[in-house]
Structure 1
Amino acid sequence: METDALTIALTIAIAIVLALSSVTHIRNEGETVIHRSKTVPHGILLTKRPSEKVKTLYDVWQTGAAVNPTGRSFMFMLQNQFAFVEATYEQINMRISGFGTGFVKVTGLKPKTDTPVGIFMPYSQESFVAQQAFYRYSFVAVPIHDLRSNDLLVEVVDQTKLKAIIVSQKVLPLLLQSLKECPTIKTIIMAGIYISPEQLELAAQHGVRLLKFAAVEYEGSWSPMAPVQPDPEDVAMINYNTKSTSLSKGVMLTHANLIAAMTAFTEALPATKRFTSKDRLLSHFSNGDVISVFLSSAIILAGGSLVFPSGLMKNVLHDSQASAPTIFASTPIILEKIHEALQLTYGQGSMFKRGFAAKLALLQAGRVTTTSLWDLIGLGEVRSKLGGKVRMVVTTHPTKPETLDYIRAAMGIHVIATYGRTETSGIVTARNMLDYTSVPHLGPPVGCNEVKLVDDVTAGYTSADEPSPRGEILIRGPNVMKGYYKKPSATSVAIDEHGWFHSGELGTFHANGTLEVLGKKKKTKSAAGAASA
């Protein structure tokens, strides 16, 4: 019997996914078996770090900076201009050291004291320098993002008792208006070019020093302090998810947590697709998205380049064309907007329709390519809209399947989609980038954690369900958070005595060991009360 190309391709894809999943057949009543990555079968320790030399985010920087210290490795937008400037690892290293030293001098805060410091600004060169400085001198970063009102800002400051905060020029007015409700803040460092006399006076009325980022950096550049290195179990960041209308609990993530996530993400990539010193990452994830931390850490460890985009939705394509990244990391909504925009511009032409149909057929047969005839005569311009050099798109759950197919077929770019929670350092599973099927799964567990499902009576999901078990998703591993900041009761509800984090999300395991998310678990009144404690 003759087998068609599509059947062969699907068989290969399923075999690849199966090869990346490992399960134990031992399970408890009301639970599924425990699933792991094939790279760390049961009896082997879960992935923690890339090497014995890299245990903290400070180690990541030191290792990556040594790969190509004089190479042009950082690109960022000039103030309000459509142009990128470049800097080397050596130059950025001096800025990190200068700002960190200056920060200690002007604030009087002592390193290695678990002191939280706010970062209330978009992903940018300044926010990057600040975070790296905090890793170097063992402070705790508190990224504040996507705020819809000053009430949420005040709540973050109140919970963490922030004494110092770094802000962008755009959000400075909001913070100044909130100083009455934020009495713990004593120093504001503004990343921008202008502070008005009125703003200085308003800050002074509340006993707050208002300084420019550049001035703090300059202050510390004269006599840089020696690093005060963190330990792996030290908290690197406290993350608040402020995308909803109410503030969530602060998630404490240690250096060890984030190193485990970075390492597992890298190992989930095919060996020939992993980041190298020739790669350039453009990411649209914010400071508060943990995926931003492990992606930037992975590219730094390889000695690659980082691009700090303008942060404006209308400039997404321009930023990519101007910086020519090889790795493009974006949220589902941004990718879907790009898809819509390109489809509106090119999708109505007969040549594009014929070319896309032909390349979609190639995709379904197991091929992602940029060298077909259609790439030469019709689709090359579409690919160029991301700069022409992108070889990999990294995104998260849930991204529309038609958008993923468009990126793979029309643009000839591989996609890796991940699933994770803030509490798990941003990653739990990763879909194999060579799996082009339309099955709505999110891949098998990555190497830093193991996953199981537990029966959920309210939803009617059980481990005995056919054809696939269903239940609440539980995760355990070195990527799971230290706990919720100053909320021991909520921590004990979320993480049980065996170290399993109860995600509050429902899922199912397919026969090949890949996970599909089905939705959120309904909270009972008792659980909700305990979680808020």
Structure 2
Amino acid sequence: MDFDGLSIALAAAIAIVSLLAYLNKAEPDVHPALLEQQASVADIRKEGQSLLHRAKSIPLSSPLLTQPNATIRTLHDVWKAGLAIGASNTSMLYLLHNQGSYMVDTYAMVDRQISGFGSGLLKLTGLAPKTGVPVGLFTALSRECFIAQQALARFSLVAVPIHDLKNKALLVEVINQTKMTAIIVSQKALPLVLEALPECTSLKSIIVAGIYISPEQLKAASTHKAKLVKFAEVAYSGLENPVVPSAPEPQDVAMINFNTKSSSSKVLKGVVLTHANLVSAVAAFQANIPNGKRFTSKDRLISHFAVGDVLGTVLTASIVSVGGSIVFPTGLMKNVLHDAQASCPTVFASTPVILEKIQEALLLSYGEGFLFGRAYAAKLAMLKNGHITPSSLWDFFGLSDIRAKLGGKIRLVVTTADPIKPGTMDFFRAGAGVPAIKVYGHTETSGVATCRNIYDYSSTEHAGPPMGCCEIKLLDNAEHGYTGADQPFARGEILVRGPNVMRGYFTSTGAVSATLDSEGWFHTGEFGQLLDIGTLEVFGQTQMLRN
């Protein structure tokens, strides 16, 4: 049967129209009924409290999530799982110093570096594995920092991330509280460490994640009887004299983290997190991603969270455990979009402030265009109908540059539940065509407690239902007049309990008794309300209470 040119053109036109109609469908991504109740809620309310809430997938009679699977029990197991999926898979991408291009390491290459650095660290410092000795991390998120964290887990040492790289008082207090003898430090922060040395008599080994140490810096360290060596030298010495790994147990301490939100106390508190705490948070975050959108070895994470932000640790472990890759950005705000374009991440994790600045920069470049305005308005209409897509007609013609500026492969945006400008989350959902979720948690809860449902596109700025590793309730507060019986929503102090909740505070039993009660509930010191759909809304400084 012969077809003339007109018939072929007509058939092609019908196919294109049908495809565009499908891509611009108005149907929601999930049935609205699935979002009407997002939590498992207890039937009975105790006096002075709200009803207890859990994840919808975790009935009140079921145990909370503790592991992603039977083989992953520690952070060391997380790495082994990723390595087993594919030793030749890409593990990390990092920017070459002042060259503007990325280098790629495979899992096998990084595994060798982890073994080398860990062995070299033990040789340099004289520390013994399986002793839970604290080792400082005073560096931005980087290739060396990641290798060091994995090495500490491999030899059962304790990581002590110090998140503020410009605060000498904080640095001195953390070193002296933990009595640490060794610290990994970025080249940029090295002068501050040397300045603090006279006040830190326990510190004897300083390992620089950089390529240059001046004679003056060597002399300054030597004056205070401290060794000053390059990271690469430590790793090389360990490769020549490898030490047999000493894998941790789930209840061993993985991290002492001083990045706590608690500001009411003048005493700096180190949050003690075990491997079991962090692994349960990883299990819960992975379970929060629905089937069809779960992380795989093809995923790539770019994170702008500081080393001391536990959510960043959880996200990294979630990607590594499935054999995915991690991008280490330059750390400069002006390079955020450049880093994304160069590395093409699929998961983009940033603070609300960074997301706001990305939105401002992209709107400044494209927001005045007529086609952009029409396209963005159409995508917002789709969003209100419960539908997100990166491949509508509007994405091809009016919004293609938005997605391209984020690397072109992004499929999920993750941020914290801190206050964010209205419209910013919707900008990524509609403009880039990807889900954007908030995670609420504290350092004391391993960075997680609730997470926004990936299909919940409503404008209500709630933080989502409880995650599978914990349960949540509200405690009445007489001073503010909040009660679990308030209408239309229960209000009170947010309490969290589960395997993700910390062991306690480092050498500070008094602080523990005030925030971690006898039933294992962590008292966050923050107020919230539980909405009728089972989600938590946290009261921020810019948020008014509903009456």
Task: Give the TM-score normalised by the residue count of structure 1.
Answer: 0.94
Structure 1 residues 7 and 464, CA gap change in structure 2 (3 angstroms): farther
Structure 1 residues 342 and 408, CA gap change in structure 2 (3 angstroms): same
Counterpart of 1:52?
A: 70
Counterpart of 2:10?
A: none
Structure 1 alignment gaps of length 5 or more: 521-533
Please give the residue correspondences for 1:207-356 in structure 2 after superposition, counting only pairs within 5 Å: 207-241=225-259, 248-356=268-376
Structure 1 residues 6 and 494, CA gap change in structure 2 (3 angstroms): farther
Preserved contact between residue 282 and residue 306 of structure 1 (Cα < 8 Å): yes
Structure 1 residues 365 and 71, CA gap change in structure 2 (3 angstroms): same
Please give the residue correspondences for 1:88-237 in structure 2 after superposition, counting only pairs within 5 Å: 88-237=106-255
Preserved contact between residue 131 and residue 156 of structure 2 (Cα < 8 Å): yes
How far apart, CA to CA, are the structure 1 residues paired with 2:156 and 2:523? 30
Preserved contact between residue 284 and residue 330 of structure 1 (Cα < 8 Å): yes
Which letter does structure 1 place at the counterpart of 2:430? A
Counterpart of 1:524?
A: none
Counterpart of 1:438?
A: 459
Which letter does structure 2 place at the counterpart of 1:175? V
1:505 equivalent to 2:522? Answer no
Preserved contact between residue 261 and residue 443 of structure 2 (Cα < 8 Å): no
State the secondary structure of the residue aligned to 1:375.
helix
Task: Give the TM-score normalised by the residue count of structure 2.
Answer: 0.92
Please give the residue correspondences for 1:518-529 in structure 2 after superposition, counting only pairs within 5 Å: 518-519=539-540
- The correspondence for 1:448, drawn from 453, 469, 493, is 469
Give the alignment's Cα RMSD to 1 decimal: 1.8
- Give CA deviations for 1:262-281 in whole Å, capped at 9, x if unaligned: 00011011111110011111
Which letter does structure 2 place at the counterpart of 1:12? H
- The correspondence for 1:380, drawn from 385, 400, 407, is 400
How far apart, CA to CA, are the structure 2 residues paired with 1:290 and 1:16? 30
Structure 2 alignment gaps of length 5 or more: 1-23, 542-547
State the secondary structure of the residue aligned to 1:426.
coil
State the secondary structure of the residue aligned to 2:413.
strand
* Residue 7 (structure 1) shift: 11
- The correspondence for 2:515, drawn from 494, 512, 515, is 494
State the secondary structure of the residue aligned to 1:272.
coil
* Residue 519 (structure 1) shift: 4.0
Preserved contact between residue 484 and residue 492 of structure 2 (Cα < 8 Å): yes
**Length, aligned pairs only:** 515
Structure 1 residues 7 and 456, CA gap change in structure 2 (3 angstroms): farther
Counterpart of 2:429?
A: 408
State the secondary structure of the residue aligned to 2:402.
helix
1:459 equivalent to 2:477? Answer no
Structure 1 residues 113 and 18, CA gap change in structure 2 (3 angstroms): farther
Which letter does structure 2 place at the counterpart of 1:203? A
Structure 1 residues 247 and 75, CA gap change in structure 2 (3 angstroms): farther
- The correspondence for 1:12, drawn from 21, 31, 34, is 31
Preserved contact between residue 117 and residue 148 of structure 2 (Cα < 8 Å): yes
Residue identity over aligned pairs, in percent, reads 54
Structure 1 residues 369 and 6, CA gap change in structure 2 (3 angstroms): closer
* Residue 147 (structure 1) shift: 3.9
1:471 equivalent to 2:492? Answer yes
Preserved contact between residue 120 and residue 143 of structure 1 (Cα < 8 Å): yes
How far apart, CA to CA, are the structure 2 residues paired with 1:92 and 1:174? 29
* Residue 73 (structure 1) shift: 2.5
Preserved contact between residue 453 and residue 508 of structure 1 (Cα < 8 Å): yes
Which has the greater radius of gyration? 2
Preserved contact between residue 303 and residue 348 of structure 2 (Cα < 8 Å): yes
* Residue 377 (structure 1) shift: 1.2
* Residue 149 (structure 1) shift: 2.6
Which letter does structure 2 place at the counterpart of 1:511? D
Preserved contact between residue 203 and residue 209 of structure 1 (Cα < 8 Å): yes
Preserved contact between residue 260 and residue 444 of structure 2 (Cα < 8 Å): no
* Residue 243 (structure 1) shift: 8.2
Preserved contact between residue 152 and residue 242 of structure 1 (Cα < 8 Å): no
- Give CA deviations for 1:70-93 in whole Å, capped at 9, x if unaligned: 122211011122110001000000
How far apart, CA to CA, are the structure 1 residues paired with 2:127 and 2:476? 48
Structure 1 residues 43 and 194, CA gap change in structure 2 (3 angstroms): same
Preserved contact between residue 301 and residue 316 of structure 2 (Cα < 8 Å): yes
Preserved contact between residue 17 and residue 443 of structure 1 (Cα < 8 Å): no
- The correspondence for 2:538, drawn from 496, 517, 533, is 517
Counterpart of 1:78?
A: 96
